[in-house]
Amino acid sequence: MATIESKPRSGGCPVNYPTLASVPCPYPYFDQMREQGGVVPIPGRENEFLVADHALIVQVTRDHERFSSHTPLNAEAQPGWEQSVFSTDPPEHTPKRKVVHASFKPGRLKDYKPKVQRIVDDLIDAFIDRGHADFVNEFSELMSARVMFELLGLTKHQPVEDWLWLTDIDFEGGGTRYLPQEMQERIDAAGERLHVQMEPVVADRMKHLGDDLMSDVIRGHRELRGDDGEGDDLMYLTIESTVVLLGGVLTTAHLVGNAMKLFLDHPDQMAELRADRSLIVPALEEALRFESAQQFMTRFTTEDVELGGVHMPRGSVVLVVYAAANRDPQKFDDADRFDIHRPNVKRHLGFGHGAHFCVGAPLARLEGELAFNALFDRMSDIRLAPGKNELEWKPSMFTRGLKELHIEFDKA
């Protein structure tokens, strides 16, 4: 059994990932990982590995006994997050996930739909008469943020403006340790600020339950314990509510923003979407495959493991690079081509895989579908604004989203 320490198995050059240098275009790094066998060490790190092969990532995400989500990197991201639903394994994970999942079932989505539609319409109203907008900062980020603020009931306590700083929060999840020290400190400060802001809201909601997602989570955990609140843990419920909030704000904002950029890059396909709205949902899936809003997640080996011919000692950190798997040519024909008609697009890993498949995926799809239907109804000839777009990506390795996207359009 070969043990990998500092050199890739195939003898190629070390893969300089994850680093901020990879943010503008990570795809050559993903190609390099696959060329070197799909499992490579992270340069300069002992017992830390990258997995880029689609089949191997599926294998990892199905094997929670050996590749645990209970990794120390989540505690590094934010203290206490190791307790959350995304940081635990079955059987502990199963009831926690069931509680959150209840808020994203079809019945609840039906309740959310008019709220999402109102937010979408209000945002479009704000710029429709101008003929131009920064799509990221005036629509996609505000849409996902305002939806989550309303569904969680945050604006019952503070005006929406007090929460909008979250649209540009520094959050890197399990990738925090790979950032420069000053960025790690900013992330720590942002996490502390958010916790301080969320905790009194959760404390109040524990006393006054309502018809909102946060109340659903609190009720669900009380039902699991079989009590009326005597066992409530304020710290844990604040963390769980924060996980739901950030997941809903960041991923959906990037999905919708990235999708608009891809549609603009492929006007023939955008014309098809206008003509046949049933293509919007698969087009969003293809956008998530092509420019994955969530780039990777972390796992932790509970025993010595061999994966793809590479030995990983017990206690190794494993980054499953979903974004690389989504461009794997062994899984997707012509993987570097954007195609809204891709037949196997649902095999993408943009929402994760296995027990930790994104619990909020149905809501993200709903928001995307309602957003683009409304945009196509009210705007024609959507185009990039000339001379205004540098098309820079946010400085994050963990997520992928544009800083801004200036568009022009005609009012339909």
Distances (CA, A) of 159 to 65, 146, 188: 44, 11, 24
Q: Does residue 65 sit within a domain?
A: no
Q: Show the domain range for 107.
A: 82-295+328-411
231: domain CATH number is: 1.10.630.10
- In this predicted structure, what is the pLDDT of residue 10? 43
Listed in sequence order, the DSSP H helices in 279-348 are 280-290, 322-325
Residue 160 lies in a domain: yes
- Taking the CA atoms of 176, 181, 183 and 187 in sequence, report the sign of the dihedral they define: positive
Question: How deeply is 230 buried, as exposed, middle or buried, from its count of CB atoms within 10 A (0-12, 13-18, 19+)?
Answer: exposed
Structure tokens given for 193: 């600020």
Alpha-carbon gap, residue 396 to 321, rounded angstroms: 14
In a domain, 401, yes or no: yes
Q: Does pLDDT of 247 surpass 50?
A: yes
Residue 147 CA to residue 245 CA, distance in Å, equals 10
Residues facing 135 on adjacent strands: none
pLDDT band at 347 (very low <50, low <70, confident <90, very high): very high
Predicted local confidence at residue 245, as pLDDT: 96
The verdict on residue 108 lying in a domain is yes
Residue 293 has pLDDT above 60, yes or no: yes
Cα–Cα dist 143/164, whole Å: 11
The per-residue pLDDT for 309 is 95
**Hey, CA dihedral for 183, 189, 190, 191, is it positive or negative?**
positive
- Which one is predicted more confidently, 80 or 403? 403
Q: Is residue 255 a part of any domain in this protein?
A: yes
Does residue 403 register a pLDDT over 90?
Answer: yes
Task: Flag whether pLDDT at 35 surpasses 60.
Answer: yes
Interval 295-330: pLDDT, tens: 999 999 999 999 999 999 999 999 999 999 999 999
Q: Which residue has the tokens 């990983």?
A: 312
Q: For 187-205, write each residue's pLDDT tens digit.
A: 989 999 999 999 999 999 9
Q: Mean pLDDT for the chain?
A: 93
Q: What is the count of structural domains for the chain?
A: 1
The answer to whether position 22 is within a domain reads: no
Answer yes or no: is pLDDT of 67 > 50: yes
CB of 74 within 8 A of CB of 86?
A: yes
Domain assignment present for residue 58? The answer is no
pLDDT band at 174 (very low <50, low <70, confident <90, very high): confident
Report the percent of the chain where pLDDT is more than 70: 96
Per-residue pLDDT tens over the stretch 122-159:
999 999 999 999 999 999 999 999 999 999 999 988 99
Residue 332 lies in a domain: yes
pLDDT of residue 12: 65
Q: Read off the pTM.
A: 0.94
- State residue 77's pLDDT score: 65
How confident is the model over 77-127, as pLDDT tens digits? 667 777 888 889 999 999 999 999 999 999 999 999 999 999 999 999 999
SS3 145: helix
Q: How confident is the model at residue 7 (pLDDT cuts 50, 70, 90)?
A: very low
